[in-house]
Amino acid sequence: MLASPSIALADSTLQNGYAEVNGMRMYYEISGEGEPIVVLHGAYMNIQSMGDIIPMLAETRRVYAVELQGHGRTEDIDRSITYPALAEDVALFMDALNLPEADVFGYSMGAAVGFQLAVRHPGKVDQLVAASLAYDIEGMQPEYRAMVPSMTPDMFTGTPIEQDWERLAPDPDGFDDFVTRMIGLEHEPVSWEEDVRTLQAPVLLISGDADVSTLEHSVAMFRLLGGGSMGDLGNPLPASRLAILPATSHTAIIRQPELLNAFIAPFLAGETPKGMFD
């Protein structure tokens, strides 16, 4: 899923380095103090292009931001890029840093990776914040599904995505191979309804009202997670939540860090707005 080019990031890094994961060196940055949260970027992005949401989270949390296979300073390897494979990379990264469990915030591709991590390693994910997540390809906008079969590496040549990738990549000449793997990811089957039903971690779903997935799909996922019933009648609110950002496209989600954090912070803290009967 395409995401936005680079956005300036305030330098709040306390520590950075590489973890040996599945035959590759995975780059990471750690900032802030508090309960841990792992941050997973979108497709063709890096830590820097996640923008100010990372330093905002670091005001109250210890943030572990990683760069996934072939992204940013993490090398690409001769392996297909799939959501399960990326999720296993993150699980091994957490092991390498002696991080048994954490909250997870993922955007776009990173949201799908975080979801797969929570499904495959439920003990590692306390709470999941998933911004722009689709659990089934049929929930994507028709225009997007129609575009995927026509995607080629040439579409990315000379774009800001290529320029930003070459700026950080360990092998600046490997862009075409990387994009070919990423296009392959777009063709991976996504049909995760049963996984949604069995998910143990509470989830905050965040979508734009003009996102790549449809509004109906976001609501359907929220209902699968136990949400959507009326409050104020004595029943407890569900652990999962849904936030729809107004006038917001897919790439505009990450460009609203204050609004994002206004939803994320109370969710992670377990705080809910009080009604007149509370």
User: What pLDDT was estimated at residue 247?
Assistant: 98
Token look-up 């075409």 returns 176
Residue 114 near residue 135, CB atoms below 8 Å:
no
**Calpha distance 196→220 (Å, rounded):** 11
Residue 216 near residue 201, CB atoms below 8 Å:
no
Give the predicted TM-score (pTM) of the model. 0.94
**Average confidence (pLDDT) per 10 residues, the chain, 278 residues:** 37 78 96 97 97 97 98 96 98 97 98 98 98 97 94 94 95 95 95 96 98 97 94 86 98 97 97 82
User: What pLDDT was estimated at residue 227?
Assistant: 94
72's CB contacts (< 8 A; 6+ apart) are: 27, 41, 45, 46, 47, 48, 168, 169
**Calpha distance 180→163 (Å, rounded):** 17
Token look-up 């005001």 returns 59
Contacts 24+ apart (CB under 8 A), 95-101: 96/19, 96/20, 96/21, 97/19, 97/28, 97/64, 99/36, 99/38, 99/64, 100/124, 101/36, 101/125, 101/126
Residue 29 near residue 16, CB atoms below 8 Å:
yes
Residue 128's DSSP bridge partners are 104, 203
Token look-up 């395409």 returns 2
Condensed to tens digits (0 to 9), the pLDDT of residues 15-32 reads 999 999 999 999 999 999
